[in-house]
Structure 1
Amino acid sequence: MSNDRTNFTRRSFLRSTALATGGLIAAPMIMRHAALGSEDPILIGSLHDQSGPVGTSGVPMVRALELGIEEVNAAGGVLGRPLKLVHYDTQSNIQLYTQYAQQIALKDKVAVIHGGITSASREAIRPIFDRYKTLYFYNTLYEGGVCDRNIFCTGTTPAQTVEKLVPYSLERWGKKVYILAADYNYGQITAKWMEKYTRDNGGEVLAIDFFPLDVTNFGSTISKIQQAKPDVVFSALVGGNHTAFYRQWAAAGLKGSIPISSTTFGLVNELAALEPSESNGIVSGYGYYEELKTDASVKFVSALKEKFPGIPYISELAAGTYEGFHLWVKAAQQAKSIDRMKVIEALETGLSFDGPTGKVTLDKATHHSVRNAFLAEAKDKLWDVVASYPDQKPSDTAAVCDLVKNPNDNKQYVISL
């Protein structure tokens, strides 16, 4: 991948993808900005998939960082210095995550890293940034439980979204549930939360099936679901390959008879990829939808679409990345420094940012965010927001993590359910 200061175009995306497919190792994409005086730029790191099964999710995350950096530089930078983005396309490849994490920390020496999409990628690079003392923001919704003073997790956790999605679905459709999930830590742990909230609300889980990320044929599973006759299917399937399930589900004639609620549907641009006949009626729960009509949301979406025509759907992943970036900026300004520990201490003061998702406040004890949550239903390739829940706390992670009492804690807890 070349160093390029131009807008990300479809042609350059296809070219970079072709290089990745051919096995070439990408160089960092360094976004250059006009200097603000004689000071050297502050480097902002990005490790996000731009190709491979998760690439469609990663593209808007990087674009959100570029937009944020452009805005901050236009306003004078941070501490009088311009910001520059150093980005590596991790190509949906865990080996590249670990390789580039070491390079971005040791060679590029970025001030902060925003990166990782799957939980597997996060857990591959989190120890590296701990070891090399590089501040890390993980801006993706996930299964909860990470407790590490060097990381800030701005995405939603199950207590903020799954806890709302499950009772809504049971009340609307019935108590018998069939769960499908990706076969790695996100899917496995999220499935446990789905099971817990189903029990808590008087429901019954008929079965739970897990699928590796490369699975594309769901025929036998669809037959099993038909035989089980659930009232609703809960899906925590992940990535572009798993999109095949929804197409095969509709082709089997089941979409109109057994509804689906999902914690992941829409994050890889499924609404654009599928026909309304395949997606209408699916319900999801996130911390953000592009269709929100608040002033901040409309401004954010308009700016991204104007700067990057053809950008995939702008989900919680992009909004959380934008907000995580601005929280770091506020902390550096407040600390009057980009020193890692000084910025961490500023972030721990209960720092807030009013962004496209609403007000986001960092919780000192968990380094997670207190934020709004929403439920929405797919309708003609758009999301119709049907419920909102303000100021949701990361109570799942708070049950196992207290960095005030245990600042040296450094692990991901599997929360006992």
Structure 2
Amino acid sequence: MSVSRRSLLKSVAAAPLALAAPSLVRSAFAADPIKMGVLLDQSGGIELLGSPMLEATRLAVKEINDSGGLLDRPVEIIAYDPQTTIQFYTQYATQLAAGDQVDVVQGGITSASREAIRPVLNRFQKLYFYNTFYEGGVCDFNNVCTGSTPAQTVEKLIPYAMKKWGSKVYVLAADYNYGQITSQWVKKYVGDNGGEVQEIEFFPLDVTNFGPTIKKIEAAKPDFVVSALVGAAHISFYKQYAAAGLKAKIPLASTVFSAGGEQTLLGAEETEGMLVSFAYFEEIDTPKNAKFLKDLRANASKPINYVAEVTARSYEGVLLWAEAVRKAGSVDRVEVLKALQTPVSIEGPSGTLTIDTQTNHLSQNIYIAEIRDRKINIVESFAAQPPTDTRLVCDLVATPDQQTFYFENGLEAAGIQ
């Protein structure tokens, strides 16, 4: 995912968030704290995602410290608010690495933020966990990508929707790397299942008027529409689509909707029957997830509307790192990376998560859900799905010194023109 800078640059400075572990916690330990850097947007346009992600990160660290810390040391969070502004991602990644001397960084929400953070942390040799679903293709031994990729979610969503609704598909996507690349994966999976993509339309992130496109969809008469639209402005599409009467005629599937709990913010008539797919939904019915949700909301500094994949994965990303530290017996970057390759596996709120050693991504459970009465209803699940899209271009076992984002090569390797 990525977000336009548009008017976000109006803020010229981002204040660090004072989130270090409390002194009363640290006083219980004899050793100095292990420092975890966190870069998650608390303002600037995507705080709907960033705020609960930070709360989930804090919960994971609290649980670690309450259980005795790591290696008999407390974990201390040092967090900054990049305000959804590229220059701040770079600035604060540098501050965390060179100034604060953190042992690991967890954060980044957009693909643009990841690509600003990643080279800085590579230069300073600081381990980086990126916990957001994205378009796939990062091949970097120093960067662990824990979010789901198109081969895990879109590859399941498209055939399910085609079986339910038909083979003619109209695609709408945000006009930047996430939308551009994901739309091509949609096209591939539609074709693989004997269908046809009638058209793909791209929209800048500040577009709010979808009237002309809605008329084009009505004229094209697809069996369903796939949306890879992103951000607050693009929410307008769902309202306008329902108001035009098309929602009842041509159903919707989305690769990104509900990531910020949007289904709770719109009316039932605007979301009813929509299909979505992620590696986590709040509605997963397991004791571990129930406990996570209870503890997250009990400890959060502000109400959390809906807990989506990015929130749960922020919690799980910390736990994956902590498990690797325990295995390594050290917070040294090289030793932790070696431990991750054993590989590390944990049981989290979303299910079993295992590091895919070829890509530093995850093998993880995937869920398809249908929105009914503004609520998520899980209709199908798939266990232990590997990141096969990124595997097409990445083999860190054979060549561990890679530090590349193969977004175009990944499409070519998959036979997508």
TM range (shorter): over 0.9
**TM superposition shift of 1:221:** 1.4
**TM superposition shift of 1:53:** 2.4
In the other structure, the counterpart of 2:195 is: 203
Cα distance in structure 2, aligned partners of 1:365 and 1:157: 15
Q: Secondary structure at the match of 2:404?
A: strand
In the other structure, the counterpart of 1:10 is: none
In the other structure, the counterpart of 1:3 is: none
In the alignment, residue 304 of structure 1 is paired with which amino acid? Answer: L
**Contact 1:64 1:304 survives alignment (8 Å):** yes
In the other structure, the counterpart of 2:389 is: 396
Q: What is the CA deviation profile of residues 269-306 of structure 1, one whole-angstrom value per residue up to 9, with x for unaligned ones?
A: 21121111211111100000001111111111111112
Would you say how many aligned residue pairs link Structure 1 and Structure 2?
A: 399
Farther-moved stretch of structure 1 (379-388 vs 307-316):
307-316
Q: What is the CA deviation profile of residues 375-397 of structure 1, one whole-angstrom value per residue up to 9, with x for unaligned ones?
A: 00112221000110001011111
In the other structure, the counterpart of 1:57 is: 49
Q: Secondary structure at the match of 1:178?
A: strand
Cα distance in structure 1, aligned partners of 2:178 and 2:136: 9
In the other structure, the counterpart of 2:344 is: 351
**TM superposition shift of 1:23:** 4.2
Of the candidates 125, 128, 144, which is equivalent to residue 152 of structure 1? 144
**TM superposition shift of 1:21:** 6.2
Q: Secondary structure at the match of 1:123?
A: helix
RMSD: 1.4
CA shift in 2, pair 1:20/1:59, >3 Å: farther
CA shift in 2, pair 1:127/1:20, >3 Å: closer
In the other structure, the counterpart of 1:383 is: 376
Q: Secondary structure at the match of 1:208?
A: strand
Of the candidates 187, 211, 217, which is equivalent to residue 225 of structure 1? 217
In the alignment, residue 296 of structure 2 is paired with which amino acid? Answer: L
Of the candidates 282, 297, 300, which is equivalent to residue 290 of structure 1? 282
In the alignment, residue 16 of structure 2 is paired with which amino acid? Answer: A
Q: Secondary structure at the match of 1:124?
A: helix
**Contact 2:172 2:202 survives alignment (8 Å):** yes
Q: What is the CA deviation profile of residues 69-122 of structure 1, one whole-angstrom value per residue up to 9, with x for unaligned ones?
A: 110000000111111111111222222111111111111111111111111111
**TM superposition shift of 1:213:** 1.6
In the alignment, residue 104 of structure 1 is paired with which amino acid? Answer: L
In the other structure, the counterpart of 1:100 is: 92
The answer to whether 1:176 aligns with 2:165 is no
In the other structure, the counterpart of 2:235 is: 243
The answer to whether 1:26 aligns with 2:15 is yes
CA shift in 2, pair 1:279/1:267, >3 Å: same
**TM superposition shift of 1:238:** 1.2
**TM superposition shift of 1:52:** 2.6
The answer to whether 1:185 aligns with 2:174 is no
**TM superposition shift of 1:24:** 4.1
Of the candidates 166, 178, 184, which is equivalent to residue 158 of structure 2? 166
Cα distance in structure 1, aligned partners of 2:275 and 2:33: 44
Of the candidates 300, 303, 316, which is equivalent to residue 309 of structure 2? 316
TM-score by length of 2: 0.93
Of the candidates 361, 374, 393, which is equivalent to residue 367 of structure 2? 374
**Contact 1:48 1:116 survives alignment (8 Å):** yes
**Contact 1:20 1:26 survives alignment (8 Å):** no
| 1:84-123 mapped onto 2 (5 Å cutoff) | 84-123=76-115
Cα distance in structure 2, aligned partners of 1:384 and 1:213: 29
Q: Secondary structure at the match of 2:197?
A: strand
Cα distance in structure 2, aligned partners of 1:152 and 1:363: 10
Of the candidates 244, 248, 252, which is equivalent to residue 252 of structure 1? 244
**TM superposition shift of 1:20:** 9.2
**Contact 1:288 1:374 survives alignment (8 Å):** yes
In the alignment, residue 214 of structure 1 is paired with which amino acid? Answer: D
Farther-moved stretch of structure 1 (201-210 vs 307-316):
307-316
TM-score by length of 1: 0.93
Cα distance in structure 1, aligned partners of 2:37 and 2:374: 33
The gaps in structure 2 that reach 5 residues or longer are 1-7
In the alignment, residue 313 of structure 1 is paired with which amino acid? Answer: Y
**TM superposition shift of 1:22:** 5.4
Cα distance in structure 1, aligned partners of 2:242 and 2:209: 14
Cα distance in structure 1, aligned partners of 2:11 and 2:332: 39
**Contact 1:152 1:367 survives alignment (8 Å):** yes
Cα distance in structure 2, aligned partners of 1:335 and 1:268: 35
